[in-house]
Every structure is written in structure tokens, then in C-alpha cells.
Amino acid sequence: MEEKQTKSLGKRIGTGIIVVCAVLFALFFFYTEHYYHADAEARAALQSGGGVTVNQAALGYLFDGPGTEDLLIFYPGAKVEETAYAPMLRKLAEEGMDVYLVAMPQRLAFFGIQRATEVFTEKLADANDYTVWTQARERYEHFYIGGHSLGGAMAARYAAEHPDKLEGLLLLAAYADREVPEALGLLSIYGSEDGVLNRGKYEENKTNFPANYQEIEIAGGNHAQFGNYGTQKGDGTASISAQEQQKATVDAILSFWEAE
């Protein structure tokens, strides 16, 4: 009798664990599938033209402009469709800094911190994509990494672990919770009306910045307007347009790394 009760209890516990896991999985799936979508302007920016070729690859998109030396690997913000950043990144490519926009698992950079390494060593299933990327990759001399919000924080973790692969780190409305090596240049940009960035943690973690970092506050900018995905919950109201905020960001990025 006691043995039967033990087996019955074990089955109930096992069933309970399976039910809990199923519920947690369903909640996680529900959470990640409700995300911010790229708008029409962002989708249009994925079309090649105007001196920029946009190639879709296994890990995201390559914005290939007239530049031949510099590549930025970009991690998107949490629960944001990666293509929402196409307008800003396309502008960077137009001005000479090519960009590899990385698509993240479940749109959460936390699960794809090492994707930059995959970009460096990428072997694509599609032969045409493989040729496009490997030929482009071989010509770059300077590699940078950056991202927006959670994407920026995870890019900072990658930079802290792999400074030998990079020359600089770009943070858009993000902070570094790991010490960034002094050898890397760091540019931090945020909007004055940002209601999402945790300013307390940002200030606290500035001790992780290298001595030669540069910080820029965009007057009138907010959190969401680094991308084109609409209004973000908890964000402040911007007093400038997304186009103005993104132009200021592009100008700051180019100016910083030209001076490095």
C-alpha cells in the first residue's frame, strides 16, 4: 500500500511539473510574440537603392554602402522587430559605415549575446548569401558593435568578453553592466525625454565605461525613436521627430569614430 501511494505521489508530482512547465512556456511564448512591429518606412528602407545594397542573410541584414573599411554589428532592443532600425542603419551605410543588423532569438538579445561571433564566422545555407557576406566581410578593417536598449547592454557584454575582435562599442539608451576594456572607444547616446532607460542604473554602471568614452544627450529625443516601431510603453514624449533623432545619432556616430 505504501509503495502504491509513493508511486501515485510521484506521478502527481511529475504531472504537476509538466503542467507548470507547459504554463511557463505558454506565458513566455505569449510575452515574446507580443512585440513592437517595424513601420512602413522601416520596411521601405530594406529595399536596395541610392548607393546602399541590403542583403538578407541567415542572421539578419547587411546594409552595404559605399564604405569599404568599417562595419557595425547592431543588436536590436527587446521585443522590437529588428527591421525597425533599418532607416537609421541605412543612413549610416549611406555615409560610409556598413551595418550588420542582427536578428535575435525570440527578439531578445539576452539569448543571442554571442551572435557577433557567428557573424564573424558565419556559414550560410544559401550559397548566394554566403558569397555576398564572405566577400564583404573580407574587406573590412574595423569592426564595432552596438545596440539599442537591451541590445546595447548585451553588445556591451560581448565587447567586454571579446575586445580583441572590436574597436568600439555603441550604446543607444543602454548601459554596460560589465567593465568595457580601455582599448575600446565607447559612445553612449540617449534622448533627454527617454522614459524607459533606467537612469539610476545607467549612472551607477558608468564606472564600467573606459576613460575615453563620450556621452551625448539628444535634446527632445526619447527611447523609441532610435527605431521605427511606434510608441513604447513607459516612454517619454519626444519633442523632435524620429528622423531628426536618427540623423543626430548618425552624425554623432560618424563624428566619434572619425576622431578615434
pLDDT tens by residue, 213-238: 999 999 999 999 999 999 999 999 99
The pLDDT of residue 148 is above 90: yes
Mean pLDDT is lowest, of 8-17, 123-132, 186-195, 204-213, for 123-132
The pLDDT of residue 248 is above 70: yes
The pLDDT of residue 22 is above 50: no
Q: What is the pLDDT of residue 6?
A: 55
Q: Which three cell numbers stand for residue 170?
A: 555603441
Percent of the chain whose pLDDT exceeds 90: 73
The neighbour count for residue 11, using CB atoms within 10 Å, is 10
Any idea where the domains of the chain sit in the sequence? 35-259
Per CATH, the number for 35-259 is 3.40.50.1820
Q: What is the pLDDT of residue 23?
A: 39
| Exposed e or buried b per residue across 27-65, where buried means at least 16 C-beta atoms within 10 angstroms of its C-beta | eeeeeeeebbebbeebbebbeeeeebebbebebbbbbbb
The neighbour count for residue 78, using CB atoms within 10 Å, is 19
Tell me the whole-structure pTM to 2 decimals: 0.85
**Residue from 34, 233, 49, 249 nearest 241 by CA:** 249
Tens-digit pLDDT profile for residues 155-169 = 999 999 999 999 999
Q: Give CA–CA dist 220/104, Å, rounded.
A: 29
246 band by pLDDT with thresholds 50, 70 and 90: very high
